[in-house]
Each structure stands twice: as structure tokens, then as C-alpha cells.
Amino acid sequence: MTKRLRPAMLLATVFLIAAVGSPSPATAAELAIPPIRYQQRTLPNGLQVISAEDHSSPNVAVQMWFHVGSRDDPRGRSGFAHLFEHLMFKSTRHMHAEQMDRLTEDVGGANNASTGDDVTNYFEIVPANYLRTLLWAEAERLSNLNVDEKNFSSERAVVEEEYRQSVLANPYGKFFNAIDPKSYAVYPYKRPTIGSIADLEAASLQDVIAFHHTYYRPDNATLIVTGDFDPRQLDAWVDQYFGWIPKPATPVPQVTAQEPRRRKNRRYTVTSETAPLPAVAMTWLIPPAADSADRIPLQVAAALLAQGDSSRFYQSLVYRHQVARQVGAEADTRVGPGLFTAYAILASGHPPAAAEKLLDEEIIWLATQPIPAAELDKVKTQLLTRELKQRQTAQGIAFALGQAALLDGGVDHVNTDLAALQQVTEKDVHRVLQKYVTGAKQVTIDYLPQAKAEPASATGATP
């Protein structure tokens, strides 16, 4: 029998291998990482199946990734993909509403789901002896979901309440929710994933049924199973429960829009009745996630700028100049064109222009000046450690496989990207920042507290 390292032991072993035989501290470039060993196949109906056997703990993760996200929302119906995520937890022909909770939580497991720009995923973790039940349940809600007026109305109300809480009630909800709509000219990422109350109210049951038939089908889905299972038994159960589901004759619609290159800088102002302090965000277009040669250095650049209290944004804007109370940067790569975003929430008494100037200065400095080797190695090690810690569980391994397969250009990226991360150099960081950020046009969003109206005087006149 082949002895398998437990994930925690694997992580420790990786760092031990890096350090042995070297008098200097281990750096990210020295780490030797065992690959995730996975299997993949496609059923005759088009369902993609990815599995990774791991007996380090007696549980299994089951995930269903559908290749549909907010970019696929019908025109004038933003929030549809998110709405349908909720509907998938309602009743089916053979399951009661919320029964997925009973099949997972009642046996010590858990379940949840999320909607993104490009995908909607449903994920569960259960003891290994409940794998068969979960495969049946996922096939059941793929093939026999009850899309009726009762379920539609109740879940639409839930999504609308989520919008009120996360966008309207949050002082900076409108700020972050405005980034995509202001940053894209034509690409459907300009529709926020959470949608809008107006669009949700305009939706009908027939709209929902059409969306279900169009996108929730086996040839538009990826099943991922990781953990403690027998591969032959898994294949037999997958064939039994998913193999019979027919593949529709019509093709899955694809997004054909092309985001134009920005010709000039643009600035927008968004106001808030609840935000106590102003904020500013700047965005630049970056290539799709499949371009790993640029994606990974951009992620390193974002981490150098804003990951942790020692990052350049924090040290400049929060610590030294004290013009901001929160800063951030992200290389948000997607199936289509992504965004490189830098933002700051201001400290009291400072205007957005003060933070914008310092953000620009730090980006230009990082793009043009030497990067200390210790700083670059630290950030790469942080990013690498985060990935390795995620992969200590069956659920984390499944997420890594799904991210690679559906977003990053192919499942093989689950292993090759970690090697590429360790090879990122100062020249790579300079190259991508100069190409996509300092050498490109930006969108700037000023977020301003809205002045409150003065109370009316005794005569009824407003001062």
C-alpha cells in the first residue's frame, strides 16, 4: 500500500525540503511541491467529471460547477444567475425544499453555494459513506428541479433582501458595487452579480424557466469529487445517476461581446447617504485568466501593493501620510477581460484626490524601481502558503481544481501555476504593470458622502 502524507504533514515537508542543505533561509523559489493527482473524464451527455483521491481524512467533497454566471444574465434581468443559485436549494421531484441541509448537516457535514461573474458552484462536504447519497442529490436537482411560482417568489424576496443588506445598508456597498458597472463599456461584467431590485421585480416565472433550460444542463456543468472514495465505485455511481440525463440539442449560448480598448481616462462620482468618509477606486483592464504568463505576475503586483500591514499602500497611505483608513488592490482575473483595482477609504478630513495621488505614486514606483529581493520573496511565499493551506482539506482541493478547470484555462493549472508563481521576477512585475496599468487608461470612481439636507425653518423655508 502506498503511504500518503496527510495535508498538514505535506505542507511541513514542503518547507523542510526547501530548507535542508541550504545555510540561507528558504525562499519561495526553492519549494518543491508534490502535484495534486487528479482524474478527469467526460460523459456522453457532456458532463465533465474531475476527481482526486485522498484518504488522509474519512470525508468527501462534492461540488457542481455550472458554466454560468452573472455575465450570462438576460438583458434587463441582472441578478438572474444569483437568483437561480437560491432556487437550486428548493424542492425537486423527489426532494423537499432545503433537504440538501438535511442530507449534509444532519450527518455532520455542510453545504453552500456561490455565484460569480463566470460560474455558479454548489459544494458539500460529508463523511465518505454518504458520497452516494450526495451524488444522487446533485443529479436530482440538476434533472428534476421544481421551478414554480412559489419557489420563484420566495427566493426573489431573499435575494432582494441580500441586496438591501450588502449594498444599501452597507456604507460602502454602493462603492464596491459600482466598480464593475463603471469599469466596463460593453462586456456583460458591467452587470453586478447581485443584480438590482428593479430587474428582479421585472422578472417572470417564464424568464426563470427559460434560464434553467438554457444553462442548467450536463454539457454546461463540471462535477468535482475529492477525498476518501474508491475510484471505480465513484465512476459507477456517476454513470448511474448522471449518465441518463439527456444532452439538449441546442448549443449553450456563449458571450461574444468584445470589450473595447480604453481610449481615454474616465472619472465617475457616486454619492452615498450613509458613508461617513469618502473613498476612491481606480481600475485598469487586464487580460483573461487563461493568460497565466501575465495573470500570476499581476497577482504578485497586487500583493506587493496591498497585502498586509507591511504592503506599500498601507505603509504610505495609512501609516506615513495617514490619509486613508483602509486600502486595497486586486488583480481580478476572469474568463473574459479582468480588472486591476486599487482603492482607498479615506481618513477624516482628507479628499479622494489625496489618496489617488499616493496610490498612483506607489504603483509607478513599483512599476519602475528595483524591488528588494526579500520583499518579493516574502509576498510570493505568502501567496504560495495560502494556496497550500487551502489544499489541506478535500473541499479546498476541490475548489483549487474548479478554479483551474473553469477559470484559469485548464485543470492542469492547478499544479503548473504554483511552479510559475515561484518563478515570478522583478522584471515580470515591472512588465505587467507597465503594460496594463501605468501604460494604460484608467477609470476613477470618487465615492462621496452626500450632504444631508438642513431641517426646515419655522417658516417652512429651507436654509
pLDDT at 107: 97
C-alpha cell at 202: 421585472
- Per-residue pLDDT band for 56 (boundaries 50, 70, 90) equals very high
pLDDT score of 3 more than 50: no
pLDDT tens-place string over residues 351-368: 999 999 999 999 999 999
User: To the nearest whole number, what is the mean pLDDT of the chain?
Assistant: 90
pLDDT at 30: 62
List all residues 6 or more positions away from 109 whose beta carbon is below 8 Å from its beta carbon.
Answer: 59, 124, 125, 126, 127, 130
- Per-residue pLDDT band for 402 (boundaries 50, 70, 90) equals very high
In this structure, what is the dihedral angle of CA atoms 260, 264, 270, 276, given to the nearest 10 degrees?
Answer: 120
pLDDT at 32: 83
Closest CA relative to residue 133, chosen from 92, 105, 103: 103
- Per-residue pLDDT band for 23 (boundaries 50, 70, 90) equals very low
- Per-residue pLDDT band for 80 (boundaries 50, 70, 90) equals confident
Pairing of strands 59-66, 120-127: antiparallel
- Per-residue pLDDT band for 459 (boundaries 50, 70, 90) equals very low
pLDDT at 66: 98
C-alpha cell at 373: 529581493
pLDDT tens-place string over residues 168-187: 999 999 999 999 999 999 99
Least confident of 7-16, 97-106, 161-170: 7-16
pLDDT score of 20 more than 80: no
pLDDT at 22: 37
pLDDT score of 375 more than 90: yes
Average pLDDT value for residue range 5-11: 35
- Per-residue pLDDT band for 35 (boundaries 50, 70, 90) equals very high
Average pLDDT value for residue range 145-152: 89
CB 267 within 8 A of CB 446: yes
Structural domains of the chain sorted by starting position, each given as residue range(s) with its CATH number in brackets: 39-242 (3.30.830.10), 266-449 (3.30.830.10)
